[in-house]
Homo-oligomer: A and B are copies of this chain.
């Protein structure tokens, strides 16, 4: 697959979502922002529903999601697929490409996407020049580890009803951080089909449909056109036993407790 690379142009006055996320964790200095901008030089554009990374192929580059959603999945021989996780704006696809280019998983777009590509060598240079950025990167990986762990708990030990509530809450919180949720109305754009939600939560599309209906009848959510309202977040959290430790508490810690930042000066 060949795609035209287009220089990335940040809309006036806004930072790319990855930088926004890092800055949300702990303010970046200008040198660091400039260095991170170098990862945003070239963009790819994809249509919806395209598998752009195939299982078994070498994944030798990493991608930053600028717009749109993607997901990582595995296909099984009976035609079923399991979605492992979603990539939202600000997330990095194949963050381990530098050291683990071969994987069992494919990655596909949900809707129209804009991605920035960067090379392994750029990333490694960045870490050497700016050790602090390595810490941000590590923090991001740690969040993703937690996110996969949550997905495991959802699939292993929660009912379909709880699973669905739990996933919706997680997506809402992740989108909020990059400014893509409708904060005031507790809603967010949900571009995925019920079939994809079912493939995410290990259930059939039929049962996904019934479960969403049940959540609506309980006045917990409202589903409108590609947009979902969390009408009663407290009840949803209770139903799902949702803990957002890994999404919210992480922030305060690096601000207060961690002294690695003080010992290690950014070398620029």
Query: Are A260 and B121 in contact (CB-based, < 8 A)?
Result: yes
Cα distance A97–B137 in the bound complex, in angstroms:
13
Q: Which residues of B have CB within 8 Å of A100?
A: 138-139, 142-143, 145-146, 246, 250
Q: Is A29 close to B, CB under 8 A?
A: no
How many chain copies does the complex carry?
Answer: 2
Residue of B nearest to A148 (CB): B148
Our pick among B80, B98, B145 for the contact of A96 (Cβ within 8 Å) is: B145
Q: Is A224 close to B, CB under 8 A?
A: no
Chain A interface, >50% SS class: helix
Interface residues on A, range: 35 or more
The minimal Cβ–Cβ distance linking A261 to chain B, given in whole angstroms, is 10
Q: Which residues of B have CB within 8 Å of A141?
A: 96, 141
Q: Which residues of B have CB within 8 Å of A101?
A: 253, 257-258
List A residues at the B interface (Cβ < 8 Å): 56, 58, 72, 74, 76-77, 80-85, 96, 98-105, 120-121, 124, 127-128, 131, 134-136, 138-139, 141-146, 148-153, 155-158, 199-202, 241, 243, 245-246, 249-250, 253-254, 257-260, 263-264
Question: Can you pick out 13 interface pairs between chain A and chain B where the beta carbons lie within 8 Å of each other?
Answer: A58-B253, A84-B153, A96-B138, A100-B246, A101-B257, A102-B245, A120-B258, A124-B135, A124-B260, A127-B134, A128-B131, A151-B152, A157-B202
**6 closest cross-chain pairs (CB), A and B:** A156-B202, A96-B142, A100-B142, A155-B155, A99-B139, A82-B156
